[in-house]
Amino acid sequence: MEPCDTPANQSARKIFHELEEYYEEHNLYFRTIGSVLEAADLVGAPHRLKLILSQPKNELMVHCPVQMDDGSWKLLKGYRVQHNNALGPYKGGIRFHPEVKLDEVKTLALLMTMKCALARIPFGGAKGALRIDPRSVSKDELMRVTRRLTSALGDNIGPDYDIPAPDVGTNAQVMAWMADTYINFAESSSKVIARGIVTGKPLEFGGSAGREKATGQGLVYVLDALLPGMNIQLNEVSCSLLGYGNVGSWTARLLQERGTTLKAVMDHTGAILNEEGIDAVALAGYVAETGGVHGFPDASAITSETFYSTPVDLFIPAALEQMIDLEHAQRMQCKVLVEGANAPTTPNAEHYLLEKGVEVLPAILCNAGGVTVSYFEWKQNRQSETWDEEHVDEALKKIMTRSAARVLEAAKRLDCNMRLASYAAAIEQIDKVYEMRGVFP
């Protein structure tokens, strides 16, 4: 069980009590807002800002009737949570997952607000989801549910208002269907700008060079900025990847280019190990073909316990939320936990790792590359421009390096861990904007 008397819980309890909002100590949203409010206390943020950030501005729930290939009908539940738009239009991915819940979407929307503010990108935070297993439906069914969800969201999304992107279970193809549906509803005079309704589109249809690898690429730039200060060189170290989808597989491939050895990987199909190193490119090809890492010929199958306890320098979660719990943390033998996934670490696992001397690099810093290149895509769409990959990478590196420096500076100034520092640096930016804009009316 998580401890209940942490500073994060105390900060959240105080605000939720004042709002007369129900809370449950072990709920993911409560845990996450607790850390954000603890950071707000650290920087002496005004009370009104803590109230504003503690709940999303809008929580939308839709129910989409969809006919399946066999003629039967399903009613699918969808969400769009718009957490905050003080810095710019709402921005955040759309997840397709059979067990997705409102509190998970609220948490991810809150983290988007923090992420964009830390990176100084002119976006607010949002997140959406559809309760469906995308692997269990045909391509035609997936297209119909995507179009139906897009039309159900209607004017609640828009290129100047709220811009979705891919997340777990969605990809460039899903974004193409979303954009096409939205463009069909748009006035003829705004059809060009309507392409910017989503980012992460295919390159041929308004996507950006470098978007697919962007989250992994951004993570590597963060490591470039921070590891030398820990006396760690990428070409001398080993890593484990939990999750081998977009974020995991691109991180592994880009780290391999830097000479990092990929020792172990686990996904929803199983776990594999090769002490000599797994070829990240070959594994990505195998996963694209078979759907998972299970059965990859050049590695041995291992248990989940062995996966977590394999000694590596960098342990990189790139799957779902809260997978690193205390039990897993107690097995782990790594120097740095690099959060590729959103909210992958439970508070007591983080506490344990920090006490043990493991550095924990927080998600809102490490995985901000995705939203950063989404911002570049949105900009290109608005200006009818096409940037080449070199230009994208250069601009991405600048933003990731500056964000990493911002977190380091805040950690030093506030004498706190990197997660609190990342939230603190984000909150300071949002606070300045509220101070200048005022709170309407």
Catalytic residues: 127
Please tell me the total number of residues recorded for the chain in this structure.
Answer: 441
314 contacts ligand NAD (rule: CB under 6 A) = no
Q: Which residues between 273 and 312 bind ligand NAD (CB under 6 A)?
A: 292
Give me the least distance between CB of 10 and ligand NAD, in Å please. Answer: 27
Give me the least distance between CB of 107 and ligand NAD, in Å please. Answer: 10
In one-letter notation, the amino acid at residue 375 is: Y
107 contacts ligand NAD (rule: CB under 6 A) = no
320 contacts ligand NAD (rule: CB under 6 A) = yes
CA dihedral 279, 281, 283, 289 (to 10 degrees): -150
Instruction: Assess whether the previous peptide bond of 441 is cis (omega < 30° from 0).
Output: yes
Nearer to ligand NAD, 158 or 166 (CB): 166
Give me the least distance between CB of 85 and ligand NAD, in Å please. Answer: 19
Token couple for 105: 């979407």
> In 363-388, where does DSSP find H-type helix?
363-366, 369-383
168 contacts ligand NAD (rule: CB under 6 A) = yes
- From 341, 349, 361, 399, residue interacting with ligand NAD (rule: CB under 6 A): 341
Q: Which residues between 40 and 79 bind ligand NAD (CB under 6 A)?
A: none
Q: Which residues between 259 and 278 bind ligand NAD (CB under 6 A)?
A: 266-268
Token couple for 317: 């979660």
- Nearest residue by C-beta to ligand NAD? 245
Nearer to ligand NAD, 45 or 284 (CB): 284
Residues 204-233: x where in contact with ligand NAD by CB under 6 A, - otherwise, as a string: -----------x------------------
Nearer to ligand NAD, 319 or 416 (CB): 319
Nearer to ligand NAD, 16 or 79 (CB): 79
Cα dihedral 149, 369, 430, 230 sign? positive
Residues 40, 16 contacting (CB under 8 angstroms) = no
Give me the least distance between CB of 95 and ligand NAD, in Å please. Answer: 7
- Spatial neighbors of 86 by CB under 8 A, at least 6 apart, are 124, 430, 433, 434, 437
Distance of CA 417 to the CA centre of its chain: 20
Distance from C-alpha of 227 to C-alpha of 3, rounded to nearest angstrom: 31
Q: Residue 267: phi, psi to the nearest 5? A: -135, -165
C-alpha pair distances (Å), 398 with each of 356, 393, 395: 32, 9, 5
For ligand NAD, how many residues bind (rule: CB under 6 A)?
A: 23
Q: Residue 421: phi, psi to the nearest 5? A: -65, -40
- From 146, 342, 380, 403, residue interacting with ligand NAD (rule: CB under 6 A): 342
- Spatial neighbors of 250 by CB under 8 A, at least 6 apart, are 212, 213, 215, 216, 217
- From 29, 30, 79, 244, residue interacting with ligand NAD (rule: CB under 6 A): 244
Contacting residues toward ligand NAD, per CB under 6 A = 166-169, 215, 243-248, 266-268, 292, 318-320, 340-342, 367, 370
